[in-house]
Each structure stands twice: as C-alpha cells, then as structure tokens.
C-alpha cells in the first residue's frame, strides 16, 4: 500500500519570499517520488522527480525537493517565489503499476 500526505491545503506567501510545501509518504515498495504543478483548468505537469541517487533534486524554474528516507518526506522548496508560481502543487509516489497523489497544496503568491 502507498499513500501521500500533504498537510497544507493552502499556502499564502509574499512575492520574493521563500516557501516550503510539505509532503510525507508511505510505501511498501521502492520509492519513486514526484512533484507536479497544475494551473487552473489544466492538466498536471511534472515539476521534478526522485528515482534514485542524489537526494536533492531540482527543477528548471528554481524549485528543489529533498528526499528524506528517515522522515519519509519529500518537501518542495523555493528560495524566492514569483507571481507566476501561483498554482496547485501535487506530491505523488510511484508504486506497483500506479501512481498515488496527495490532496494538493494551493500556493498563492501575494504581490
């Protein structure tokens, strides 16, 4: 069985401030972790992923996430957010033949 918990449903943050979106997972098989972003009325797009190797993974637009096995976490961070980062973010875990998603965190960047 696998599950994902995103504790924060909404996170407001001022522009240029840092942000952390939290994600905790449970899985009984090898862990593959993903962050996806969704803009209004659109599908999801992959932001970054952890499959193996370095526990710190980065995206092309400044986000990073760190896989922490002992804390079963995969938190998403950005040191300075932009208005265009306003969206909903989903953490996901890949397991046997399917991917399980969290309930999502809405990031609201305030100008």
Partner 1 sequence: DGGITQSPKYLFRKEGQNVTLSCEQNLNHDAMYWYRQDPGQGLRLIYYSQIVNDFQKGDIAEGYSVSREKKESFPLTVTSAQKNPTAFYLCASSMAGVGVNTEAFFGQGTRLTVV
User: Contact between 25 and partner 1 (CB under 8 A)?
Assistant: no
Binding mask 80-109 for partner 1 (x = CB under 8 A): ----------x---xxxxxxxxxxx-----
Length of the chain: 111
Choose the binding region for partner 1 from 39-47, 54-62, 68-76, 78-86 (rule: CB under 8 A): 39-47
User: Contact between 56 and partner 1 (CB under 8 A)?
Assistant: no
Give the CA distances from residue 37 to residues 27, 42, 46, 52, 91, in Å, rounded to whole numbers and listed in that order. 22, 10, 6, 21, 9
Cβ contacts of 85 within 8 Å, gap of 6 or more? 19, 61, 78, 107, 109
User: Contact between 49 and partner 1 (CB under 8 A)?
Assistant: yes
Planar angle of CA 43, 65, 96, nearest 5 degrees = 60
> Where does this chain bind partner 1 (CB under 8 A)?
6, 9, 29-30, 32, 34, 36, 41-46, 49, 51, 90, 94-104
């Amino acid at each position: 069985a696998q599950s994902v918990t995103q504790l924060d449903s909404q996170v407001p943050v001022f522009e240029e401030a840092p942000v952390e979106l939290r994600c905790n997972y449970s899985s009984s098989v090898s862990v593959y972790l993903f962050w996806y972003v969704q803009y209004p009325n659109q599908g999801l797009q992959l932001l970054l992923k952890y499959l193996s190797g370095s526990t710190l993974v980065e995206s092309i637009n400044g986000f990073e996430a760190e896989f922490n096995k002992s804390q079963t976490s995969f938190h998403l961070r950005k040191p300075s957010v932009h208005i265009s980062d306003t969206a909903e973010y989903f953490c996901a875990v890949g397991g046997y033949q399917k991917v399980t998603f969290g309930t999502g965190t809405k990031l609201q960047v305030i100008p």
